Structures are given as structure tokens and as C-alpha cells.
Chains A and B, each alone.
Chain A
Amino acid sequence: MSDTLVEFRQVVKRFDDFVAVKSLNLSIAEGEFVALMGPSGCGKTTTLRMLAGLEKPTSGEIILNGRVMNDVSASERDTPMVWQSLALFPFLNARENVEFGLKMKGVDAPERRKRAIHWLERLDMGEFIERPVNQLSGGQRQRVALARSLVIEPKILLLDEPLSALDAHLVIRMQGVLSKLQKELGITFVYVTHSQSEAFAMADRVVIMGNGDVAQVGTSREIYRSPANKFVAQFVGRNNILGGSVSSIDGDLALFDTECGQFALRIPEGKTFQLGQLINISIAADRLRLQQHSDSAPKNKPMDTGTNQVDCTLISEEFVGAVVTLFFETKDGTELMVQVQERELDQLKVSQDTLYTLSWAADSAHLLSD
């Protein structure tokens, strides 16, 4: 583990009555790409702005590079930010925008120019060095904003939803540019986004925030496969959440009753269940197996087979490309979603008036903490 660069110690931020951030504890290592992700109003942008010195924490400490930053002004922090609106200076051209930070540091004109041009060229903006920023496309302006922040050679770069204004195909391209840049430079990136695909694609570690609290910290796969709680499972999406009470325990399998049936769950190591305990589980939509219902099949006993089954009918489908999400409803009205490959769709012959059986293994369900 490399050295800690940033540490939030019990940081609280209140705006009048509204608590934007509730006791945040988080440390970020040097050279790490961390994404702060959550729905709007979850406190992620406030956290970033506190790190940049644009908001003052109500209580707690923010430590950057071993120094408590609470009373250091924004202009003395060296925490450049790439803004959602980009906030380029409209009266300056691309090069002058990039030079701004160096000018403020008192670097002389020829050196400023050399470094600004170097960064613009590095970001494939060599042709547009003297172009006024309002004559650049969205993607090009993005690169100017990046160059403007990186030219001062910071140890950390803050990014506030930088790709949200771009077209979908440009987002993918810029994700590649950002990931590559972060690896080459080896500096810390703190990236705020509400987009799961951006966070999962780039970040070493994802921090999921909700209502001013950290809901989960982990790698993209950890969060995707084992959401810590209901909030994360719902926010990440494509998770089926079932709640019920434990009705019997046999070895490492627990049986629990839900509104749509009795299901088995492999008890995670180190956990103990009591009879009657209420639990929530999530099953990723791609872990459900879909088959047509057949009356002749023997009745499934989850505790014996370790497999859960539930009958349901199709209500709708959502086509995204290679993957299709099918939405089903059980007899009691519980909705379940299943992800299948588009090419499997023809074999399955899905239609709305057929009864289907969904099944999943007892150990592919994941226990949520709440």
C-alpha cells in the first residue's frame, strides 16, 4: 500500500439545516484513482469542493499531504479541478487558458508558453493552440480544461462530473484518455460522478455515497458483485432485492420466507442467523437462469438442491445492445429482472403469455447488511 495522500477525518458539512456530509472518514492513497459516486444531493460534490477549499468543513479535519488543510485557502492548495461546466476563461484562447495557473505562480512568459504548448500537444490539441475556446468542440474544450489543471503538475487532480456534457461516444473516448493519463502521470485522481459506467470503468476504488454518508467503498467488482446494503444494490442497479424472515437453518444453508416463496441462502462465513430474523438479499440480474415452466418437472426443494425457483410471467423487455434485460412478475406481484445475452433471445422464444421458471443457486444470492 502506498502512502496516504488525502485523509478525511470525521468531516461534517452543514448548510444551515441541511447536512450535506455526515461524518466522512476516507483516506486516499498516492497515485490512486478514486471515484465518488452517488445520486445527486448525496454529498459527493460537496466532499470534492471541501478538498479543493471551496467549502469549509463544519467540523472534522481534511489532511492533504500530511498537512491539515481546513484553514488553507483554495488558491494555496494545488488541488486543480476539472469542472462540470469546464469553467474555461471565455476571453482567453486555449494556450492562455492553460497558462493561467503558471501565470499565477509567477512563472515567466516563455516558460509558461513552452509548458502550455507541451500539454496541449500531449492531449492532441496541437492544432488548436491559439484557438479561442468558444470555437472549440466539447471534446476539445475538455482537453483544454485537463491541460489547464495538469500544467501546474499537481499531486492530485479533482474531477467534478467532467464528462456529463459530452456525447456518448466521446465519453468512452475521454474515459480512455483519462485512465491512460492517470496511469502515466501516477498522480491521484478524485473523480465525482453519478454515472456507474464511468466510475466502474476507470476507478481503482469506488466510494458510493448516499445522503451524506459513505455507503460502500470497494473495487468496481466488489461493489457490483457484493453490494453492502439495499441502497448500493439499488443504486448500482440490475439487482433483484428480496426481503424475508429466516424460517429454518440447516448447516450453512438458511431458508427464508418471502412474499413470492421460500428460498435458500448460503450463510456467509462468520454470520449467524436466528429464526425469524429479517434479512434482505440481492441477486444480480445476470445470475438468474430463465427457462420455460414445465408441469412435469419435480417440485423443487431449495434446501436439498441448493437451487431456488420461482414461476413468473414476462411484463416487458429492455434492449440495450448485446445484453437484454427482461422484466418478470411473480404471482404475488414481485418484480424480478433477468439479463440475458441478445443472441440467446431467439432460443428462449420469450413471449408474454408463457409461464417461466426463474432459478438461481443458493450461493449466488448475496446477503445485504440492512
Chain B
Amino acid sequence: MNSERISSWILKGYLVLIFLFVFAPIIASVVFSFNSQRFPTIPLGSFSLEWYEKIFNDADIWTAARTSVIVAICTSILSTCIGFATAYTDYRYQFRFKGVFLALALLPPTVPLIILALAMLAWFSKIGISGQISSIIFAHTVLCTPFAMAIIRLRLSQMDENLEAAAWNLGASQWATMRTVIIPFTRPAIIASLCLTAAVSFDEFAVAWFVSGLNKTIPVVILEIVQGNIDPQVNAIGTLVFVISMTLVIIAQVLIMTSQKRDSIN
């Protein structure tokens, strides 16, 4: 009895340590972003919004933020559309080489980012669209579509196999069924996918750095700032990026979990 309690406390302590290990750098970055001193040292100086003011007044950072937001929005819409189509194809149809089709569809995240980025750069310059915002969007769409597909596929797998047939049976054509049954059923997953792919695109550095040219995204700008000198602006940007990405990821998680829970009562 007693030893059980001790081991339970040890395990809880272990868990706290792991979380600390994972989150300490992020917490440090957040803390230093509000620190008045230039160098990240302890003891801390006074509380200050200086670095936030600085980035808000920096035109380069605003441009990068605009690029990042445009890329994230376009990427999330494109990859969610393609991901939905792929997931529905897998759900609905049986065909030869379906295994190969699925493996190819899920492959991009397993390719090392540097290789993917280099290949993208070479390919985009070959077809003449390198260094544009659209090139980052295309590259990120390739990267994000498998995530979108996985999320929507999971949702479709929870669907009663007769639901589509029930709609046909009540006079709905294939398109009407898509509009009135499949899309409403997968809506939580579609929104989750939009959030998650936007977050992935917003954070992604390697591919963006290679293909962006002059249209830098936020992560690319951070690297450029860090390369020159130690600048606490980076902490401020990092904190904002972290908050935005986490919000998107949490929205996605909540949507996926609540829709699962709602169905499980059925």
C-alpha cells in the first residue's frame, strides 16, 4: 500500500520533469521576451514590452508576418481540399494499387526536409516559379496535405458505412450526398485540418528558407536576426508564433476529440 503510494509519487515527479524538459526552453523564451535586459541572464531585469514595441515597429517583420499569414491560409485551404479528396477516394472506392496510392499520398512528411526543400528549389527554378509567394504555398501544400488527409480519413472511418447509402436511398444524388451528408459529417475534421495545416505552414522553416527568395516568412526572418547578433526581439517573435500555433493546434485537437465523443454516445 505504502510502496504503491511512493511509486505513484515518483512517477508523477518523473512526468513533471519530462514536461519541464520539453517546455523549459519555451518558457525561458517567453520570460526573456518581457525582460528589459539585452542578454538572457539571471537575475532578470525589470518587466518590459520594449522588444514587442520594437518588432511592431519593424516594417520587415510586418512584411514577413503578412507573407506567413497569406502562405498559411492558402496552404491550409489547398492542402485540406486535396487531403479531403484523397481521404474520400480511399474511403469510398476500391481499386488496384490502392496500397501504393495511400503510401504515396502519405509519403511527403517522411522525406527529410532538407532534401524536399532542395528538390523543390531545383524543380521550381526549372519551371520558373521560384522565389515567389506561390512557390512557398505549393511547397507547403505538398508538406501539409498528408496531415490533412490523415485527419479527414480518421473522421470518415468513424462514419456509419450505411450513412451515404441512406442518403441515396432517400433520393439524394451523389453530389447532394456529398453536400448534405459527407461534408457536414466531416466538418469538425475539415476545420481541424485547416487549423493544423495552417500551424504547420506558419512554423515551417527549412523549405520556406530554400524556396522563399525575397518573400521571407517569419521563421526565416527569425533566423536572419539570430545570425547577426543576440537580439531579444527573437524571443518576442517566438512567443507570438508559439501562441498562434498552439491556439490553432488546440482548436484542432478540441474539434477532433469532441466530435469523436459525440459519436461514441450513438
Which A residues are closer than 8 A to B by beta carbons? 52-54, 73-76, 78-81, 83, 85, 87-92, 100-101, 103-105, 133-135, 148-149, 152
Contacts and interface: CB of A to CB of B under 8 A. Distances in A.
Contact of A54 (B160, B169, B184): B169
B162 A148 contact: no
A89 B181 contact: yes
19 contacts: A52-B169, A75-B172, A76-B171, A79-B169, A85-B160, A85-B162, A87-B165, A89-B163, A89-B167, A89-B185, A90-B185, A90-B262, A90-B266, A91-B185, A92-B184, A100-B170, A104-B167, A152-B170, A152-B171
B266 A80 contact: no
Contacts of B66: none
Interface of B: 160-163, 165-173, 176, 180-181, 184-185, 187, 262-263, 265-266
A28 B143 CA distance: 57
Contacts of B171: 75-76, 78, 101, 104-105, 152
B170 A101 contact: yes
B162 A134 contact: no
A78 B163 CA distance: 17
B266 A54 contact: no
B263 A80 contact: no
A85 B160 CA distance: 8
Contacts of A76: 171
Q: Which 3 pairs between the two chains have the least Cβ-Cβ distance?
A: A101-B170, A87-B166, A104-B171
Contacts of A149: 170
Given A85-B160, A87-B163, A134 B263 contact: yes
Nearest to B177: A75
Contact of B187 (A74, A91, A100, A148): A91
Contacts of B170: 75, 80, 100-101, 104, 148-149, 152
Contacts of A148: 170
B260 to A, nearest CB: 12
Given A54-B168, A104-B167, 16 more contacts: A52-B169, A73-B168, A74-B165, A75-B169, A76-B171, A83-B166, A89-B166, A89-B181, A89-B185, A90-B262, A91-B185, A100-B170, A104-B170, A104-B172, A104-B176, A133-B266
Contacts of B160: 85, 87
Contact of A134 (B163, B184, B187, B262): B262
Nearest to B263: A90
Contact of A74 (B168, B262, B265): B168
Interface centre among A74, A88, A103, A105 (most CB of B within 10 A): A74
Given A80-B170, A134-B262, A54 B187 contact: no
Contacts of A87: 160, 162-163, 165-166
A74 B162 CA distance: 13
Contacts of B266: 90, 133-134
A100 B167 CA distance: 8
Contacts of B173: 75
